[in-house]
């Protein structure tokens, strides 16, 4: 089993470049996380279903090319691979999905392996839980299996109210936050879920639920990290962003990859914040995700230079 196993739905992406031009790419939040982790040098895999169609085959080929373990990617002969479309405007990017009845939405607990021995982190999201009741049951069973196998659970709420009503989403997500080890919420989602505004209050509230590590991502305002009894603010590097699609997923993948590599939560957050910023420099969710060398080069350039002769 890979060190990091991600559970959820991969998607084919079509990104609008203007006029009649669209660029095909790949997406799906936990699939993006798996790719981001792999590009940082981590052992990562994906557990899902894809359609037995050209789109599903393309996704599998991409994942393997990225070094993501596809042992637990099953092909469903009776359902299609999900798609999504990204358009860009003054208010930012907007998404349209064609995923109802997708192969991944048909996942069941029977798709899980008998145990997760060897896996150090299981990662999943609120989208994994939202796409269907059977996927939700699969997510619950996977979290139980992770605990039984000694793996930590990493969880990003990734609230999408187009997929499920808040009356269902809120209690489901709060239960997952209470049972995970590493919580990776976005600030906007957390404000809706907790009906709170202040980032520090939100972070403390989630910490009180039980996760040992909470990284509250705040876009251009960086990350608020709670771990080891301390709270830290990690600033986001200033970049000329063109598309933030998947930046949060890039953060998640880079963050858990560095935790698996032995970094402290604070060092992992600094690294992942840089990775997420770099991922906004190109269009699409997967293509712009930086590798570890690009991240380290950017971090080195950002270090303050010592005066000549300083020791």
How many other CB atoms are found less than 10 A from the CB of residue 191?
A: 16
> How far, in Å, CA of 8 to CA of 73, rounded?
10
Catalytically annotated residue among 69, 189, 243, 249: 249
Between residues 47 and 88, the one the model is more confident about: 47
Q: Is 115 labeled as catalytic in the residue annotation?
A: no
What percentage of the chain reaches a pLDDT higher than 90? 84
> Any bridge partners for residue 75, and if so which?
50
The pLDDT value given to residue 307: 57
User: Region 204-229: what's the mean pLDDT?
Assistant: 97
Across 128-228, the runs of DSSP E, i.e. the strands, are 152-156, 182-183, 213-217, 223-227
Q: What is the pLDDT of residues 67-79, one digit of tens each?
A: 999 999 999 999 9
In a domain, 307, yes or no: no
The pLDDT value given to residue 126: 98
Question: To the nearest whole number, what is the mean pLDDT of the chain?
Answer: 94
In a domain, 25, yes or no: yes
Q: What is the pLDDT of residues 132-150, one digit of tens each?
A: 999 999 999 999 999 999 9
User: Region 111-121: what's the mean pLDDT?
Assistant: 95
Q: What is the pLDDT of residues 36-65, one digit of tens each?
A: 999 999 999 999 999 999 999 999 999 999
The pLDDT value given to residue 220: 92
In a domain, 107, yes or no: yes
At residue 95 the predicted structure's pLDDT band, cuts being 50, 70 and 90, is confident
Helix H or strand E encompassing 59: helix 54-65
Order of strands, sheet of 213-217, starting from the edge strand that comes earlier in the sequence? 73-76, 44-51, 4-7, 121-125, 152-156, 182-183, 213-217, 223-227, 230-234
At residue 311 the predicted structure's pLDDT band, cuts being 50, 70 and 90, is very low
In a domain, 83, yes or no: yes
The CATH code of the domain that includes 52 is 3.40.1190.20
In a domain, 310, yes or no: no
Give the count of domains, the chain: 1
In a domain, 149, yes or no: yes
The domain in which residue 35 lies consists of 4-301
In a domain, 306, yes or no: no
In a domain, 29, yes or no: yes
At residue 245 the predicted structure's pLDDT band, cuts being 50, 70 and 90, is confident
92: pLDDT strictly greater than 80: no
Is residue 249 within 8 A of residue 29, CB to CB? The reply is yes
């Amino acid at each position: 089993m890979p060190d990091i196993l991600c559970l959820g739905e991969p998607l084919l992406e079509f990104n609008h470049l203007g006029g009649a031009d669209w660029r095909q790419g790949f997406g799906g939040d936990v699939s993006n996380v798996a790719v981001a982790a792999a590009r940082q040098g981590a052992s990562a895999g994906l557990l899902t279903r894809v359609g037995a169609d050209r789109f599903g085959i393309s996704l599998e080929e991409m994942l393997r090319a990225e070094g993501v373990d596809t042992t637990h990617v099953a092909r469903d002969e009776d359902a299609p691979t999900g798609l999504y479309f990204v358009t860009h405007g003054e208010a930012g990017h907007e998404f349209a999905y064609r995923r109802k009845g997708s192969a991944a939405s048909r996942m069941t607990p029977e798709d899980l392996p008998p145990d997760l021995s060897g896996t150090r982190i299981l990662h999943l999201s609120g989208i994994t839980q939202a796409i269907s009741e059977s996927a939700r049951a699969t997510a619950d069973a996977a979290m139980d299996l992770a605990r039984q196998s000694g793996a930590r659970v990493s969880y990003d709420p990734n609230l999408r109210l187009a997929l499920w009503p808040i009356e269902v989403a809120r209690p489901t997500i709060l239960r997952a936050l209470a049972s995970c080890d590493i919580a990776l919420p976005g600030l906007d989602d957390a404000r809706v879920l907790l009906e709170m505004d202040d980032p520090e209050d939100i972070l403390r509230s989630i910490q009180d639920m039980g996760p040992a590590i909470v990284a509250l991502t705040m876009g251009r305002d960086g990350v608020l990290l709670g771990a080891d009894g301390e709270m830290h603010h990690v600033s986001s590097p200033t970049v000329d962003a063109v598309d933030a699609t998947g930046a949060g997923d890039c953060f998640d993948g880079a963050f858990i990859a560095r935790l698996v590599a032995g970094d402290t939560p604070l060092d992992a957050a600094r690294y992942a914040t840089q990775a997420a910023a770099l991922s906004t420099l190109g269009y699409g969710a997967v293509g712009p995700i930086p590798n570890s060398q690009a991240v380290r080069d950017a971090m080195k350039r950002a270090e303050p230079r010592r005066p000549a002769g300083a020791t």
